[in-house]
Amino acid sequence: MSARRALERRGRMAPPAGWLAILALLPPAAMTIRVTAGDPPPVPLVQAVPLPHHVTSFRIDDREVVAFHHDPRDPRPFWYPLRGSHEPSLVRMGHPHDPAGHSHHNGVWISHNAVDGIDFWGDRAKRQGRIVTVEVPREAYREGADAASMRVVNRWLDAADGTVVAIERRCMEVRPLAGAGDWLLVVDLEFAPPPGRTLSFGATGFGPIGVRMARSIGVHDGGGRILNSAGERNEKEAFRRPATWCDYAGRITNAADGLGGVALFNHPDNPRHPTAFHVRDDGWMGCCLSLDEPVTVADGETLRLRYGLWVHDGIPDADAIGRRWDIFAALPMPDPASASTSR
């Protein structure tokens, strides 16, 4: 055997061009890889796909509907974009008229502006806080035909010296209901103070969850509509009023059917339910935890909260929103503590 042929047989030299011509003449079946151990399982309908730069893409039928951003260099984690059946996001990054002053308005976010006297809500406080994802535990991701979820552990830190103010375990789940423009994002939170300390969420209208709507959906900028479970409309009627849910909807594209929105759901097991919703005609809404008096978590205890965001097409009436809230309220609770075995 010649030296040239010996090298070819050992895979050290590319085959001659004539071999490629012969391969091109073979029928496709000759080059098909056959699986003989049975058919592979189907791809999950709902997926949670980790991406570079601390992003997880939640996908329904291989289309991204929401992404979770948890880069530790950011002031806090957030969700963006949020999509119904239309491609533009129903939420935006920043206030359309005050991007610097409202730089913390990032899609959908969890924070609070008075935790043991530290502000985790804004970005430029005298006593500034940061929320940092410190753990994505083993088996953090679950996928399937009905839902996909992700769990993380966050620490709420005093930005001045890194002191741990609170430990937060978070579980997020995307659950399709009826099509691309009808799905739920369910957010479960469990807060605990560091060992030997207590934790206080002070009286405020800012926190723990905020939603910055797309500019075209805002009442002022786009002629959108706010509606709560009490039938109150827009900021004039619904501002800081107690409710089980609040919906913000309007136009997202110029197509004839280019309408959509987000309903923010408050779970009946949350403390002091129904609590107030902080809503504005300029395009944002939030559900309050401690509007008039603090909520305190003692040493060794935990505070559990559940919120839902119903992403929908169109501008639904109160009955349609109420039916989706009923589905949300009946969902079984996960165990956030299983996100980690350590504090």
Look at residue 333 in the predicted model and tell me its pLDDT.
86
- Cβ atoms of 163 and 129 within 8 Å: the answer is no
- The chain-wide mean pLDDT, for the chain, equals 90
Give one DSSP letter per residue of 27-63, joined into a string. Answer: -GGGGPPPP-S-PPPPPPSEEEEEETTTEEEEEETTE
Angstrom distance (rounded) from CA 294 to CA 201: 5
Is the separation of the CB atoms in 250 and 225 below 8 Å?
yes
What percent of the chain is modeled with pLDDT above 70? 87
H or E segment to which residue 89 belongs: none
Q: Does residue 39 or residue 153 have the better pLDDT?
A: 153
Which has the closest alpha carbon to 312: 259, 267, 256? Answer: 259
Rg of the chain taking only CA atoms, in angstroms: 25
Exposed e or buried b for every residue in 236-251, given b needs 16+ CB within 10 A? eebbebbbbbbbbbbb
Predicted pLDDT at 235: 98
Report helix, strand and coil shares of the chain as percent, to nearest 5: 15, 40, 45
| pLDDT surpassing 70 at residue 336 | no
Pick the more confident residue, 56 or 21. Answer: 56
pLDDT of residue 340: 41
pLDDT of 26 = 56
Query: Higher pLDDT residue, 341 or 287?
Result: 287
Q: What is the DSSP string of 273-306?
A: SSPEEEEETTTEEEEES-SSS-EEE-TT--EEEE
How far is residue 338's CA from residue 153's CA, in Å, rounded to a whole number?
A: 10
Better-scored residue on pLDDT, 7 or 272: 272
Position 27 pLDDT exceeds 80: no
The answer on pLDDT for 195 being more than 50 is yes
Which of 173, 171, 211 has the alpha carbon at shortest distance from 190?
Answer: 171
Query: Which tens digits make up the pLDDT trace of 116-127?
Result: 999 999 999 999
According to the model, what pLDDT value does residue 4 have? 47
Q: Report all structural domains of the chain as residue ranges with CATH numbers, in order of start.
A: 46-339 (2.70.98)
Q: Which residue has the higher pLDDT, 340 or 301?
A: 301
Q: Summarize pLDDT for 120-173 with one digit per residue, the tens.
A: 999 999 999 999 999 999 999 999 999 999 999 999 999 999 999 999 999 999
30-34, 176-180, 247-251, 326-330, range with the lowest pLDDT: 30-34
pLDDT tens for each residue of 75-122: 999 999 999 999 999 999 999 999 998 999 999 999 999 999 999 999
More confident residue, 6 or 53: 53
What is the average per-residue pLDDT within 298-304?
Answer: 97
SS3 166: strand
Return the percentage of the chain with pLDDT > 90, whole number: 83
Q: Where residue 334 falls among pLDDT bands split at 50, 70, 90?
A: confident
Amino acid 343: pLDDT: 37
- Classify the C-alpha dihedral 31-36-38-44 as positive or negative: negative
